[in-house]
Amino acid sequence: MGGKNSRVSKKTQNSSKKLEVSVNNQYSPTVASEADCKLREQPENRSLEKKTPDFMKVCERLFQDGEVLRERMHAAIRENQERISNLKEIKAKAEKDETSSDEAADQEEETSPTKSNVERNCALEAEDLEQDQEQDQEQDQEQDQEQDLEQDQEQDLEQDQEQNQEQNQEQDQEHHQEQDQEQDQEQDQEQDQEQDQEQDMDSKILYFSVNGRPEQAEFPVDCAPQDLKDLFRCAAEAGPHDILKLYNPKGNIINISPSLEPNTPSSCYKLEVVAADYNNEPLGAELAEVMGFDLSSMEKRLQGLEKRILTEGGETPAVVYEMKKQVDSFREKLESVEHLSWLGLFKDLSEGTHKPSPFYHKRALRKTREECDHVRDKFIQMSSLEVSEEVRQYLKTPTFDNWQWEDAEIMVLLQLMYTDLDFITTFNIEPEVLREFLFEVYRRYNHIPFHNFKHCFCVTQMMYGLIWLTDLRSRMDSVDLLIMLTSAVCHDLDHTGYNNAYQINARTELALRYNDISPLENHHCAVAFEILEKTECNIFRNVPSEQYKRIREGIIKCILATDMSRHNEILVKFKSLLPTFDFSSKDHRDVLMMILIKVSDISNEARPMEVAEPWLDCLLQEFYNQSDVEKLEGLPVTPFMDRDKVTKPSSQTGFIRFVLLPLFMELANLFPCLELHIIDPVRKALGYYTEMEKALERAKSCSSSADPQGAPEAPKADCK
C-alpha cells in the first residue's frame, strides 16, 4: 500500500508539475511579452494612422490578433479547470485505498507529510490557477477597454473625416457660388456695357444753350427731322410756328437735323427763337381755328364784291373802300411782330424808365372771408366722420377723380392721408392743430384757373398714391414720407397765376426779393413756414429740434425742385445714381424725393382722360391770361402760352414726348411697378393728342381749298 500511495503521490506531483509546466508554458513570459509588445505597439500604430495610408489595415490586423489571443486564453483556462478536477478525483481515490493496518498507519504517519504536501501543492496550484484566471480576466478587460478605446478613436476619426469632407464640400460650394456670382456680375457688366455702347451708337447727345441756360438733348440717330425740331422747340419753350436758329461755336447758322455732330459742354451750340413764321402758315387759317374767323375767305369775298360793283356800276362805293381799309389795317396789326418776339426784336420802351411792378402786379382773386368761414364750418363738422374703406383704397390709386369732391371734403381726405401714414402718432400731431394747418393752407391758395387748391390736392394725392404703390414705407423712414407729403401740400401756396418768366420780365417784388432765382418757388416755401410759425397751425411743434431742422431742409429742397428750369439738372443727377441707387444713402433719398414731387406735380396726364383733359383746359386758360397781359405791357411773350400760336394738341404732344415720358420712365427704372400705373396712361394720352393734332392739320388743309367766292368745296374723305 505504501508503494501504491507513493506512486499515487508521485503521480500527483508529476501531474502538478506537468500542469504547472503547461500553465507556465501557456502563459510564458515570452507569450505574454509578445502580447504586451503588440499592445504596446498599438499606440505607435495609432500614431502612424495619420502618417500611412494603410492605417485601417493595421487596425484590422491588431483587432484580429487580439481575438486570437483571447481564444487561446479561454482554451487554457478550460484545460486548467479540467486538470484541477482530475487532481481532486485522484485525491479521492487515494483516500479510499488507505487501510486500517498498522503498516498502513505507520505508512500513513510516514506519508502524512507527503499528503499534506500534496494538499498544499494542490491548494497552491488551485490558487495559482485562480490568480491566473483573475489575471486573464483583467487582461481580457484591459484588452476589451483598449479595443473599445480604439473603436471610439476610429469612430472619432471617421467623424472628423466626415466633418472635414462636409466642410470641404461646403467650402467648394461657397467657392463655386462666389465664382458663379462673379461670373454673373461680369456678364451683367458686359451686358450693361454692350447696352451702353448700343445706346451710344443708337443715340446722340447735343449740348446747347438757350438764353444763357445750358441744356442737353438726347435723340436716336434715326429720329425724324420734325421730331428733332419739336425737341428743340420744347427746350426753347417755343411755339409750333416760331422760327428757330441754331449756331455752332463759330457763330455760323447750322441746320437742325439728325445729322448734327455730337459735341461737348465746352463746345455747345446756341439756340435762338427769332420770330414767328407767318409765311408757311396762313394767318387766316389760324384765326379760323382759334377764333372761328376766316380772314382769307373774307378778303376773297371782298375782292369778288369789289370786282362785281366795278363791273356793274362803274365805280366803287365809299363804303367798300372803308371796309377794305379796315381789313388792311386789321391784317397789319395782326402781322406786326414788334412785340411778339421774346428775344429783343420788339422795341423796349421801358428800358431805363420802367419802375418795378408792385407785388401782385395782377392781383390774384383771394378767397372772401364769408367763403372761408363757410368751408371751415363744413370741414370741422365733417372731420370727425369715418371715411369708408372703399374711399381709402381709391385714394391710393392714380385714377382718383378730384372733380367729384368739394373743398371741405378735400381737406378731410388730406387729413386721412396724415392719419393712414401714421404721422399723427409718430410725430405727436394734435388733430385740431392738423385741421388748423390744412384750413390755413386752403385759405392761402388763390382763385386762379390752374394753380389752385384742387391742384394742390391732386399733387398730394399722387404723391400719396406713389408712396403706397412703390412700398416706400418699407424703404424710407417716416420723416422722409412726412417731408414729401407736406411739400406736396405746400408746393404752390399763394401762386399768382403768372410764372417765373413773367415775374422776372415784369420786375415784380418777388423777382427783386429773390434775385430772379426761382421767385415763385421761394415764395411758396416762405408762405409755408409762415403758416407753420403760427402755434395753432404748427404740426411740427412736438418734434425734436434736430428732427425739425431735417424736416425744414427737406421741404425746402422738394418745393424748389418744382421749378421747371431745374428739370434737366435734377433728371441727369437721378439717372447717374440709378445703377447704384442705395436707399440707405441720404443723398440718394434726397434726389429721389425731388423726382417724386416733380412727377406728382406734372402727373395729370397719368390720370384717366375724363379727369386729365379738364385740367389741360384750366392750364391753357392760365397761360393765355399771362400771354395777354405780356402783350398789353410790351413784355416778352412766352411762346408756349400765346393763344395765337398754341393749340391744345400742339401744347401736349411735345411736352409729353420730351418732358413727361423721359421723367416717368427713369422713375419706373427704379420702381418697375409704375409701368402699368402711370406710364401706360401717359402713352395713351400722347396717342390721343397726336391724333387730334393730325385731325386739325387735315381740317386746315380742307379750309384752304375753298373757292374764291367763299363757297367751300365738297369735303374730302380725309377731312373728316
Give residue 618's pLDDT: 96
Q: Read off the pLDDT band of 199 (50, 70, 90).
A: low
Maximum mean pLDDT: which of 65-79, 335-349, 626-640: 626-640
Q: What is the pLDDT of residues 599-641, one digit of tens each?
A: 999 999 999 999 999 999 999 999 999 999 999 999 999 888 9
Asked if pLDDT for residue 3 goes beyond 70, the answer is: no
What is the share, in percent, of the chain residues with pLDDT greater than 90?
Answer: 43
Q: What is the pLDDT of residues 642-662, one digit of tens each?
A: 888 888 998 899 999 999 999
Within 13 A of 75's CA, how many CA atoms are on the CB side? 9
User: What is the mean predicted confidence (pLDDT) over 116-143?
Assistant: 76
CB-based contact 563:521 (threshold 8 Å): yes
Q: Read off the pLDDT band of 1 (50, 70, 90).
A: very low
Q: Read off the pLDDT band of 245 (50, 70, 90).
A: confident
> CB-based burial of residue 599 (10 Å sphere; 0-12 exposed, 13-18 middle, 19+ buried)?
buried
Asked if pLDDT for residue 315 goes beyond 80, the answer is: no
Select from 164, 95, 175, 128 the least CA-distant residue to 19.
128
H helix runs in 314-388, sequence order: 318-335, 369-382
What is the dihedral sign for C-alpha 25, 30, 31, 33?
A: positive
H helix runs in 545-601, sequence order: 545-560, 567-577, 586-601
Asked if pLDDT for residue 47 goes beyond 50, the answer is: no
Give residue 172's pLDDT: 81
Judged by DSSP in three states, 325 sits in helix
Lowest mean pLDDT among 221-235, 336-350, 476-490, 602-616: 336-350
Q: What is the pLDDT of residues 668-690, one digit of tens each?
A: 999 999 999 999 999 999 999 99
Give residue 195's pLDDT: 67
Task: For residue 491, say whether it is annotated as part of any ligand binding site.
Answer: yes
| Average pLDDT across the chain, whole number | 80
Higher-scoring residue by pLDDT: 334, 509: 509
Question: For this structure, is 451 an active site residue?
Answer: yes
User: What is the mean predicted confidence (pLDDT) over 38-52?
Assistant: 47
Q: What is the pLDDT of residues 345-388, one digit of tens each?
A: 333 334 333 434 433 344 558 899 999 999 999 999 999 889 99
Asked if pLDDT for residue 41 goes beyond 90, the answer is: no
Give residue 594's pLDDT: 98
Give residue 373's pLDDT: 95
Residue 549 gets the label, from left (phi > 0), alpha (psi -120 to 50) or beta, of alpha
Task: For residue 452, say whether it is annotated as part of any ligand binding site.
Answer: yes
First to last CA, the chain: 160
| DSSP H/E element including 230 | helix 225-236
Higher-scoring residue by pLDDT: 108, 215: 215
User: What is the mean predicted confidence (pLDDT) over 327-334?
Assistant: 64
Give residue 107's pLDDT: 58
Q: What is the pLDDT of residues 291-309, one digit of tens each?
A: 555 556 666 677 677 666 6
Select from 463, 650, 482 the least CA-distant residue to 554.
482
Give residue 307's pLDDT: 66
Task: For residue 36, say whether it is annotated as part of any ligand binding site.
Answer: no
Task: For residue 652, say whether it is annotated as part of any ligand binding site.
Answer: yes
Task: For residue 516, say whether it is annotated as part of any ligand binding site.
Answer: no
Q: Read off the pLDDT band of 102 (50, 70, 90).
A: low
Task: For residue 326, say whether it is annotated as part of any ligand binding site.
Answer: no
Lowest mean pLDDT among 33-42, 498-507, 628-637: 33-42
Residue 257: φ, ψ to 5°: -155, 165
Catalytic member of 241, 339, 451, 523: 451
Residue 216: φ, ψ to 5°: -140, 145
Task: For residue 396, say whether it is annotated as part of any ligand binding site.
Answer: no
Give residue 213's pLDDT: 83
Lowest mean pLDDT among 319-328, 346-355, 432-441, 550-559: 346-355
Give residue 38's pLDDT: 46
Maximum mean pLDDT: which of 68-82, 200-214, 611-625: 611-625
- Cβ-Cβ contacts under 8 Å for 55 (sequence gap 6 or more): 45, 48, 49
Give residue 591's pLDDT: 98
- Cβ-Cβ contacts under 8 Å for 245 (sequence gap 6 or more): 253, 271, 272, 273, 274
Asked if pLDDT for residue 40 goes beyond 90, the answer is: no
Which one-letter DSSP state was computed for residue 241?
Answer: T
Give residue 317's pLDDT: 65
